[in-house]
A = this chain, B = another copy of it.
Amino acid sequence: MQTDSLSAILSALADPTRRAILARLVEGEATVNELAEPFEISLPAISRHLKVLEAAGLISRSRTAQWRPCRIEAAPLKDLSIWIERYRRLWDESFDKMDAYLRDLQKGDPDARKN
């Protein structure tokens, strides 16, 4: 499959090298060579990882002279965060209580505020 954007985001993030690149980009923009420096793999391999990240929208690239500085993009991470929110009640007890509270409020339960 792999057509929807969430799949692209998740499989881009599934690779540890790509996650490390993203983590580096939180510090600020970086060129391809700078990003490649901590890794033992070849530059073309890094270039492909960047292409995957770019295709998923996780990074964007500008160009100044012969450099292609990369910057991290928030939107896909936000999308993923929103997706995972639907499961939060599974582990977050206080979310569960909040959820019940809001449901009670909507039902017009006069006691809702007491919980």
Contacts and interface: CB of A to CB of B under 8 A. Distances in A.
Interface residues of A, number: 30
A42 to B, nearest CB: 15
A38 to B, nearest CB: 15
A77 to B, nearest CB: 5
Contacts of A19: 6
A10 B11 contact: yes
A14 interface: yes
A32 interface: no
Interface stretch (A60-68, A79-87, A97-105, A107-115): A79-87
Closest 7 CB pairs of A and B: A74-B91, A74-B90, A11-B14, A10-B14, A78-B91, A77-B87, A10-B13
